[in-house]
């Protein structure tokens, strides 16, 4: 039973049956004082220590993820649930006095206050990530209804049920429903109860939610992103190319922070090809050390198809294609630059770029930009950073570290927790009003 109603496991049918009473239940619960962040953090901390790592890793491997990547993923998940991490996250994102009234002017106080009911639209592809979205909602004192695609509850639901077991006072704050987004009747009912909608996923998913959401309910969108690497000729270039090859191979480019294109500053075709060959050598080495898991037919067909297209265009002189005997990676050189998505799984576009054209090129995909893995000379960092941030990029990292995170890191340029609260204020005591001056002694 992967659905949860007010902290209790339930079937999908029963959940939908209970929708009619949900409004009254929520109204009752929303008036209560939410559990303190400390109680939630304590429960998460214990949960992180209880997670059966071997079991989760096995589950991820069964989904087609390489064991070392699964280990990394689980390790990172556990770290992010750790007491110190969550405390730091809370303080960085919401300030020291998280939910305390603080005086901001004479007789005026402000504090953070939960939005109320948050509906989380989880992506079907995110390996338990949705549970973390709910935990962010809990930390901010909200009641959380997680909507997942059908048959995707698994890991997220189990984590949340465990959490409730550890801290039963969280029960009224956790709901999970596995239902297709096409079931607009159910979705609309949920949205009528929402004070905020958190949506994870593709443009298509976000567009769908925007159409259904009432105009008065804020939508907090975490969309798919595009990241890339940028190289200028510099003393560290070989080391950075190796780092880039790691960024590509170790994640299979599955994160929004994984590179899909590499730009190399040059206006010479020959120089670009030489760069591609150098990168190809690093790719071959890393790919050899960390062989990819077997690809499903669906993924493999997409990769082969892209390779074939590039091979054909190479015959026309528009592109170049570099790979190994096993075609286990692909360097796709396009002499015409533009931001584009690769078929992932160790396939990357390599394109030339001129500094003067960089900004215009990036702006075209403004809303999608996330991370740049940058390899440049020391003196170039400032100028390049300005271009990248102005064009919409949120993170610049060294190559080899593109998908590393730090505690309290903004997500796509935003501190998530601050989106899940309102800043409320009150004027306390009697203040002087204009016109009262004359009566003053």
Partner 1 sequence: MEARERLFSYSKIYDHEGSEGLFVAAMRESIDHHSRNCDFYRKLLHDSNFSAEEIKTMADCKRIPTIPAHFFKYHEILSVNRENIEVHATSSGTEGQKSQIFLDASSLRLGTKMAVKAMKHHGFISIIPTNYLMLGYEPKKGNEAGNIKVALGMTRFAPAKERVFVLRSLGENYEIDYFGVMKALISYNRQRLPVRIMGFPSYLYMLLKMMKESGIKPLRLNKRSLVLTGGGWKRFDDMMIDKAELYHMVETLLGIPAENCRDFYSAVEHSVAYPECKRHHMHVPIWSRVVIRDVKTLAPLGYNEPGFLSFISPLVSSMPISSIVMGDIAVLRDGKSCGCGIKTPYFEVIGRAGSAKVRSCAIAASELMKEGLDG
Among 30, 78, 110, 124, binds partner 1 (CB under 8 A): 124
Q: Which of residues 314-333 bind partner 1 (CB under 8 A)?
A: 315-316, 327
3 touches partner 1 (CB under 8 A) = no
DSSP code string of 306-373: HHHHHHHHHHTTSEEEEE-TT--SEEEEESS--------SSEEEEEEE-HHHHHHHHHTTGGGEEEEE
Q: How many CA atoms lie within 13 A of 129 on its CB side?
A: 14
- Per-residue string for binding with partner 1, 205-234, x by CB under 8 A? -------------------xxxx-------
57 touches partner 1 (CB under 8 A) = no
- CB of residue 269 to partner 1, shortest distance in Å: 18
Among 118, 126, 198, 416, binds partner 1 (CB under 8 A): 126
327, burial (CB in 10 Å: exposed 0-12, middle 13-18, buried 19+): middle
411 touches partner 1 (CB under 8 A) = no
- CB of residue 139 to partner 1, shortest distance in Å: 21
Closer by beta carbon to partner 1, 11 or else 202: 202
| Residue listed under structure tokens 């009150």 | 426
SS3 105: strand
Q: Are 136 and 114 in contact, with CB atoms under 8 Å apart?
A: no
- CB of residue 202 to partner 1, shortest distance in Å: 6
Among 21, 55, 97, 203, binds partner 1 (CB under 8 A): 203
Among 32, 301, 425, 427, binds partner 1 (CB under 8 A): 301
Closer by beta carbon to partner 1, 45 or else 320: 320
Q: Which two tokens stand for residue 64?
A: 């087609």
Strand partners, 144: 118, 174
Q: Are 177 and 15 in contact, with CB atoms under 8 Å apart?
A: yes
- CB of residue 343 to partner 1, shortest distance in Å: 7
- CB of residue 368 to partner 1, shortest distance in Å: 6
Output phi, psi for 126, to 5 deg.
Answer: -105, 20
Dihedral of alpha carbons 243, 247, 249, 251, sign: positive
Interface ranges with partner 1 (CB under 8 A): 63-64, 123-127, 182, 200, 202-204, 224-227, 253-256, 258, 260, 295-302, 304-306, 308-309, 312-313, 315-316, 327, 339-344, 365, 368
């Amino acid at each position: 039973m992967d659905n949860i109603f007010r902290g209790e496991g339930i079937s999908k049918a029963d959940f939908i049956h209970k929708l009619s009473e949900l409004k009254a239940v929520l109204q009752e619960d929303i008036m209560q004082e939410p559990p303190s962040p400390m109680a939630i953090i304590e429960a998460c901390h214990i949960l992180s220590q209880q997670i059966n790592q071997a079991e989760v890793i096995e589950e991820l491997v069964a989904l087609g993820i390489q064991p070392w990547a699964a280990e990394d993923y689980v390790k990172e998940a556990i770290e992010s649930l750790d007491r110190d991490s969550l405390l730091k996250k809370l303080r960085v994102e919401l300030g020291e006095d998280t939910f305390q009234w603080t005086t901001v002017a004479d007789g005026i106080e402000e504090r953070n206050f939960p939005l109320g009911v948050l509906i989380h639209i989880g992506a079907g592809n995110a390996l338990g990530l949705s549970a973390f979205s709910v935990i962010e909602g809990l930390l901010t004192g909200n009641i959380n209804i997680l909507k997942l695609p059908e048959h995707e509850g698994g890991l997220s639901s189990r984590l949340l049920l465990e959490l409730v077991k550890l801290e039963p006072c969280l029960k009224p704050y956790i709901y999970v429903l596995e239902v297709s987004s096409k079931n607009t009747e159910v979705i609309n009912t949920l949205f009528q109860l929402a004070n905020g909608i958190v949506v994870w996923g593709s443009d298509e998913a976000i567009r769908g939610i925007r159409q259904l959401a009432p105009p008065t309910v804020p939508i907090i969108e975490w969309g798919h992103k595009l990241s890339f690497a940028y190289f200028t000729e510099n003393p560290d270039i070989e080391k950075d190319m190796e780092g880039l090859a790691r960024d590509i191979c170790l994640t299979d480019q599955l994160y929004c922070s994984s590179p899909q294109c590499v730009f190399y500053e040059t206006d010479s075709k020959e120089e670009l090809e030489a760069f591609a060959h150098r990168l190809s050598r690093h790719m071959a080495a890393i790919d050899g050390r960390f062989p990819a898991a077997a690809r499903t037919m669906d993924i493999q067909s997409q990769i082969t198809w892209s390779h074939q297209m590039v091979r054909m265009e190479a015959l026309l002189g528009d592109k170049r294609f570099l790979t190994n005997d096993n075609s286990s990676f692909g360097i796709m050189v396009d002499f015409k630059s533009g931001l584009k998505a690769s078929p992932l799984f160790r396939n990357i576009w390599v394109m030339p770029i001129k500094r003067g054209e960089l900004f215009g090129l990036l702006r075209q995909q403004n809303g999608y930009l996330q991370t740049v893995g940058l390899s440049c000379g020391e003196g170039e960092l400032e100028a390049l950073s300005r271009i990248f941030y102005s064009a919409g990029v949120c993170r610049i990292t060294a190559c080899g570290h593109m998908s590393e995170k730090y505690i309290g890191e903004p997500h796509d340029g935003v501190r998530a927790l601050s989106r899940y609260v309102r800043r409320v204020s009150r004027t306390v005591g009697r203040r002087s009003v204009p016109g009262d001056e004359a009566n003053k002694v």
